[in-house]
Amino acid sequence: MTDTLIRKTGRAGRITLNRPKALNALTHEQVLSIEDALDAWATDPEVRLVVIDAAGEKAFCAGGDITALYDAGRAGDLEGPRRFWREEYRLNAKMATYAKPIVTFMQGFTMGGGVGIGCHASHRVVGDGSRIAMPECGIGLVPDVGGSFLLARGPGFLGEYLGTTAHRMGPACAIRATFADHYIPEDQWPELIAGLEEDGIVQLVADRARDPGESPLTALQDRIYAHFGKDSMAEIASSLESEDSDFARDALKALSRVSPLSACVTIDLVRAVRAKLTIHHALEMEYRFTHRAVEKGDFLEGIRAAVIDKDRNPRWQHDGIADVAQARIDEMLAPLGASEEETT
């Protein structure tokens, strides 16, 4: 079975992620094949737009193939994971700046690497079953694949909240947080995709869009602003601890599950990206962390606890958020010199 179905249908370049039993987790080979297709279609006069969807109902793409990265890291191979991240980020940048419309249909789970494929498109469609999140801090990473760029664009300090708590967004929340554009009921997607293939007119997407309703995040915006606008992750946690509310308790519970180092770096990362809001700057900053993640971060331990042993009891480098020194945060985001030039 082919992991990625790539073809031209009518006026559309078509990409279908085809690993439904693996929740369409993205492999290195898929990254390269998708990039090759986009390169070919960029100058193909027969292709007016690109449509990306996925097989199965459970997930558009629930993340990257992190088990392969774990195996490489455990074997002492630092360059393999770094090469994957470099080439994945190159694809993310290409999608975000592509000259032709890209339409993505994100059913079920869209997380991590799936956000990189689905949420940098020019026209991003979600339905009732869509659940989008950036859960990287829970495995010792930071929101990457350009996720820090999307988080930095969100209103208020919503990005800091979503990036550290891994809050799952339904369709209305995803649109509010700038991870999606259009809500269209999923039973209408096949007909819409057929129309896009036949006519190559991207306006069909907006014509089908409906009101997703009020985002539950709207009711939380004042609390998110009050707590997640603090200067550091440590101050955010302290602020949450001072409030007796379901929101504060839920946020603290979510933060208790993630790598303290990753959460602290995420706050600084999102704010650094917000100060210079471009996809290339975001990916450059993210790569500074992921380049070091296997050797100096909590990545291997996070994958061990969540995916390999599944004991859900990671032994992070730091006991808690308050134990992470600013020097460690700065170290993980420091420029890489020659290695950084490879990503630009």
Catalytic residue IDs:
64, 113, 136, 144
Tell me the three state secondary structure of residue 70: helix
Nearest to 105 by CA among 34, 31, 188, 164: 188
Which helix (H) or strand (E) is 228 found in, with range? Answer: helix 216-228
How far is the first Cα of the chain from the last one, in angstroms, to the nearest whole number? 35
User: Residue 35 burial by CB count (10 A; 0-12/13-18/19+): exposed, middle or buried?
Assistant: middle
Strand pairing partners for 6?
15
**Which residues in 113-251 belong to E strands, given as ranges?**
123-126, 131-133, 182-183
Tell me the three state secondary structure of residue 119: coil
Between CA 112 and CA 325 the distance in angstroms is 26
